[in-house]
Structure 1
Amino acid sequence: MESISPAELAVELLNHCLRGSQWPQDVLRALTDEALDEDERLAAPATRALFSILVERLADLFEPALCDTYAALFSTVIEQALPELRATELLQRYRQVRTVRPVTSTPDDIFVPSRVTLGADVAVTSIVLDAARRRFPKARLWFVGPKKAWELFERSPDVCHLPVAYGRRGLLADRLAVYHELRQALAQPNSLVLDPDSRLTQLGLLPVCPPENHHLFESRSYGGDSLSSLPELTRQWVRETLGVDDAQPWLHPKFEYDFSAQRVTTVSLGVGENPAKRIEDPFESELLQLLAARPGLVMVDAGAPGSEEEQRVRQAIESTGLSADRIGLHQGSFASFAAMIAASELYAGYDSAGQHVAAALGIPLITVFAGYASDRMFARWRPDSPGPTTVIQAGSKRPAELLASVRAALPS
């Protein structure tokens, strides 16, 4: 299969998965072998194909049957990468930990692994953290994950940080190497792992603790065919698992802004490395012009330094021709921008982490939603907020039509 690209191998596997037919084991083995190759020039594109084409597509469809498909397929990948783990045993354990069951013990330590993506940690993980601290106020509560996600909760006295690095762009071997670190840290006596479908555990497949201590919120299947949002489903899951009725999205970044009488609109043009979420030019610059025509200051998040997002944001701001006292650029951590959203009167942007922060805080928000794989994915990821919310589904609409929808949604 040397002449077949990793992307072609991943597409072939995906097609078998979606048809419900048995995928060729030699194709999966070939893709995994390449993703594990010591030569990064071979391993990097194969890893991207494995996750972006195959794994993420299976997850984004939110089809309950595809959870079994993913587990069968990726447990084989794990065995190939970590031979001490057997696929059959991983599958057996997975079926046990994903079973929704009430917690009956009183743990000393509770570990909640990050979902790694910031929006998911606000919309889902934070609800699990909130329920855990309410149910077990005397337990040590640990957020397990990268620093940039931890910064969203850093100011809270209720949560400790267990730092674990996980690169979404990392090679397959690097992503799975975290298993040994997690196993050592999480398999503590009288402890509990509340897993919000974390990338760290490969969606619950890695045996990071005894199965009886591992409770997996399998967000891809929970809720079945309903069109409930992920925050709504998470609240339902913690109600069944922890007996907590009123858990809410919750964040406490260490930063704080006070704009006094200044009216501020916050904007994120980030797309989470998914270009399908973006609307073609000139939408972004014209969106900023539209927002800047209102009284007050528009603050746009720059994204990561040196990223494609930063370049795009700077170009959009420059193309408006407006001065810095009308459109400003936020440069800093996402936790800092989250605090800025909290102090703003309106948030606007694409489907991104910013929209989930605004939703959690009840800040009025306008979201342009594009690039979703299915109607159920849209339903799951739409912002769930007690505040005024407008969600504009992009579909096949042109930029001018979408701008008209944003204009109509702007508060007077």
Structure 2
Amino acid sequence: MTNSSPMYQRRDPSLSFVRDTVHAFMGEGWRDVGQLDFTYVDRLCEWAVSADSQVAKAATAAIFGGIIEQFCDDFSDEGVTAGNLVLSRILQWLRVTPQGAELDCRLNDFGFADGDALLQRYLRVSQPRQLGPDRLDTLRKVFVLSRVTAGADIAITSVIVHRLRKRLPHTELVLIGPGHLVELFASVADCRYRDFVYKNDGGLFVKMTSWPRLLEVVAEECEGLSAHEVLLFDPDTRLSQLGLLPLLPGDNTCYFPSRFHPKQEFAGCNLSVLTNEWLNLLLDEKERWQPSIVFPSNGEDYHSFVQSLYGLGCRLVVTVNFGVGNDPRKRVHDEFETGLVSKLLGIPGTVVILDTGRGEQKEQWVTSHFDSVLGLGLPAVRLAETELQGYCPAFGHGLIVFTGVLGSLGKMIDAGDCFVGYDSCGQHLAAATRTPAVIIFSGAPSQRFIQRWSPDVPGSITIPIRGSVSTNEATELLIQTVIRAVAEIRDGRLQKENYDFDKE
């Protein structure tokens, strides 16, 4: 297998050849799947395992961010088909490498000799079927896979978990995924957690060959159980490469095809609603469960803290988080964020609780917000979740820079009056706690994407950005749009739930 990346790097040290390859593959007409040239995917795979770390990183990012995520974010039947073809091509490419030997062996054990066999299986499991009482009543253990990101686990997985807990009160639930599952579902009865980390920042081999380890986890949990006693719910997760890789036989797999275009009556619905409709078909029910989380401990300390702010003259508590889940496309820029915090603090009687995030924001970034407030002459303090119990704030108008884990952010959002942030985990925490929110959708690839990920909470406002926010004028206009939305939430005079921001 020839790796041509050194030649290309000498010719083009900017690595633009990787971008050019993605563009050549995607073109302008990728929806005509029959016209896609998958030799470009092979070439990217070769670069993704290059000994040159820069080339490998760029090619891996191009495969997942430039191709697969683009297909996924389209939320269309064509996008699903194209994405599956790319993933199956990558899997087939990996299976003949030494690093992919175990992957190949395990797939052969299932009887899947090539990519076409995996695609045929996908078509079978993506067809919803009704699980009758006879099937459900024999279950002793149900697996629920994580969607990997906390936001998606709130919007989608929480609906699945709570609906299953209600429908199957005596069946053990086993949640498989990263550590935030413990924070989100700690108090769900008879529910266990198995740690499994999908490395978003890993290379091609790390991302695509972790499946055998997951297979071992499921096999271990199935010991002593017969086929009719187990089911696995796959919410369209990266753990199974979006449903392509099997963990149990098809009859034991319930796969949520989240990216397909739904029936016309649900075309404009978000993913939480679509999850409910899928479960209604599966379980023969007519339920509508809102996204929800069960914190390991109650949020009394957080509510007491906010009440003490009110006692000092505060009239509005706004929790702000500028996290974007490692997707820089969702951000506007520093000037917008700093300006927005300052303008929010310009609202009389407002306390802004600025969450520092979990590893995304740098200390320099947080300090810039902190210092800008000090320049306004308003009080500002730093507060960690470990310091909250018994903490006595000294002001009812100013900035609190807050540091805590995911559950702590959720409790703070729940205790406050309003949340402001990008399309990321914070908005789903707000939805789960029924907290009004102002969500800025920047970099959204389509209207369908916004529809699928928008919260479904009365009193919340989404602001899709259409156009550029590259000038001072556009930045100020966007800030004023957010401030107006916050004021409407504060005053209870919400005029509409969607403010299109279109500034060329």
TM-score category by the smaller chain?
A: over 0.9
Q: CA deviation at 1:319?
A: 1.8
Structure 2 counterparts to residues 11-410 of structure 1, below 5 A? 11-15=23-27, 17-37=30-50, 40-83=53-96, 84=104, 85=107, 86-104=114-132, 105-106=135-136, 107-187=139-219, 188=222, 189=226, 190-223=229-262, 226-244=267-285, 245-255=287-297, 256=299, 257-260=301-304, 261=307, 262-263=309-310, 264-292=317-345, 293-305=347-359, 307-308=360-361, 311-321=364-374, 322=378, 323-324=380-381, 326-385=398-457, 387-396=458-467, 398-409=474-485, 410=487
Does the 8 Å contact 1:392/1:402 carry over to 2?
Answer: no
Match for 1:333: what amino acid?
A: V
- In 2, are the aligned partners of 1:368 and 1:393 still within 8 Å (CA)? yes
SS at match of 2:192: strand
Larger RCO (CA within 8 A; separation ≥ 6): 1
Closer/same/farther in 2, CA of residues 291 and 170 from structure 1, 3 Å limit: same
In 1: Cα distance, 2:129 partner to 2:263 partner: 17
Q: Secondary structure at the match of 2:173?
A: strand
| Residue of structure 1 in register with 2:498 after alignment | none
Equivalenced residue count is 410
Worse-superposed segment, 252-261 or 209-218: 252-261
Q: Distance in 1 between matches of 2:76 and 2:371?
A: 43
Distance 1:406 1:91, change over 3 A: same
Q: Structure 1 residues 74-83 or 368-377, which shifts more? A: 74-83
Q: Is the 8 A contact 2:181 2:193 kept in 1?
A: no
Matched to 1:340, the amino acid is M
Of the structure 1 ranges 142-151 and 44-53, higher mean CA displacement relative to structure 2 is found in 142-151
| More divergent stretch after superposition (133-142 vs 143-152) | 143-152
Where 2:210 maps in the other structure, the secondary structure is helix
- Where has structure 1 moved over 6 Å in runs of 4 or more? none
> How far 1:281 moved relative to its partner?
4.3
**1:244-276 per-position Cα deviation (integer Å, ceiling 9, x unaligned):** 413221211225343321353211111222222
Q: How far apart are the structure 1 equivalents of 2:455 and 2:367?
A: 26
Q: Which residue of 1 aligns with 2:99?
A: none
Q: Distance in 2 between matches of 1:380 and 1:317?
A: 34
Cα deviation 1:301-347 (Å, max 9, x = unaligned)? 11124x34654343233223242252112222222211211221211
CA 1:111 to 1:374, structure 2 compared with 1: closer, same or farther past 3 Å? same
Distance 2:459 2:333 in 1: 26
- Residues 216, 311 of structure 1: CA spacing in aligned structure 2 closer, same or farther, 3 A cutoff? farther
CA offset at residue 381 of structure 1? Answer: 0.9
Give the aligned partner of residue 18 of structure 2. Answer: 6
List alignment gaps of at least 5 residues for structure 2.
9-15, 97-103, 108-113, 311-316, 382-394, 492-504
SS of corresponding position for 1:161? strand
- Please tell me whether the aligned partners of residues 18 and 58 of structure 2 are also in contact (alpha carbons under 8 angstroms): yes
Looking at structure 2, the residues matched to 50 and 186 of structure 1 have their Cα atoms a distance apart, in angstroms, of 28
Q: Which amino acid aligns with 2:352?
A: V
- For 1:101 and 1:310, the matched residues in 2 are separated by 50
Distance 2:325 2:417 in 1: 24
Contact 1:143/1:160 (CA < 8 Å) preserved in 2? yes
Flag structure 1 segments of 5+ consecutive residues without an equivalent: none
Instruction: Report the Cα distance in structure 2 between the residues aligned to 1:64 and 1:313, rounded to whole angstroms.
Output: 42
Q: Is the CA contact 1:285–1:317 (under 8 Å) kept in the aligned structure 2?
A: no
Q: Secondary structure at the match of 1:138?
A: coil
**Mapped contact 1:126–1:251 kept (Cα < 8 A):** yes
SS in 1 for 2:42: helix
- Offset of residue 294 of structure 1: 4.1
SS in structure 1 opposite 2:240?
A: coil
Instruction: Give me the identity figure in percent.
Output: 30
Question: Distance in 2 between the 1:135 and 1:39 partners?
Answer: 52
Find the residue that maps to 1:134 and give its secondary structure: helix
Question: Matches of 1:96 and 1:38 in 2, distance apart?
Answer: 39
Structure 1 residues 75 and 341, CA gap change in structure 2 (3 angstroms): same
- Separation in 2, partners of 1:124, 1:216: 12
Give the distance between the partners of 2:363 and 2:466, measured in 1 at CA.
25
Structure 1 residues 184 and 294: alpha-carbon distance in aligned structure 2, compared to 1, 3 A threshold: farther
Residue 164 of structure 1 and its aligned partner are, at CA, apart by 0.2
* Alignment TM-score, normalising by the size of structure 1: 0.93
Q: Distance in 1 between matches of 2:371 and 2:276?
A: 42
Deviates more, 1:357-366 or 1:16-25: 16-25
Cα separation, 1, equivalents of 2:175 and 2:484: 40
After TM superposition, the structure 1 stretch with the greater mean CA deviation from structure 2, 93-102 or 261-270, is: 261-270
Give CA deviations for 1:22-76 in whole Å, capped at 9, x if unaligned. Answer: 3333322121222234664443222111000000000011111221121122112
SS at match of 1:92: helix
1:222 CA displacement: 4.5
* Structure 1 counterpart SS, 2:184: coil
- Residue type at the aligned position of 1:10: V
Separation of aligned partners in 2, 1:277 and 1:5? 25
Which has the larger share of helix?
A: 2
Which has the higher mean CA deviation after the structures are superposed, 140-149 or 275-284? 275-284
Partners of 1:276 and 1:47 in 2: how far apart?
A: 17
Q: Larger radius of gyration, structure 1 or 2?
A: 2
Residues 145-199 of structure 1: per-residue CA shift (max 9 Å, x gap): 0113432222333421111011111112112232112222335342111111111
Amino acid at match of 1:94: Y
2:335 partner amino acid: P
Q: Contact (CA 8 Å) 2:159, 2:272: kept in 1 or not? A: yes
CA offsets, 1:131-151, max 9 Å, x none?
111111111112210113432
- In structure 2, what is the Cα distance between the partners aligned to 1:191 and 1:13? 41
State the Cα RMSD in Å: 2.1
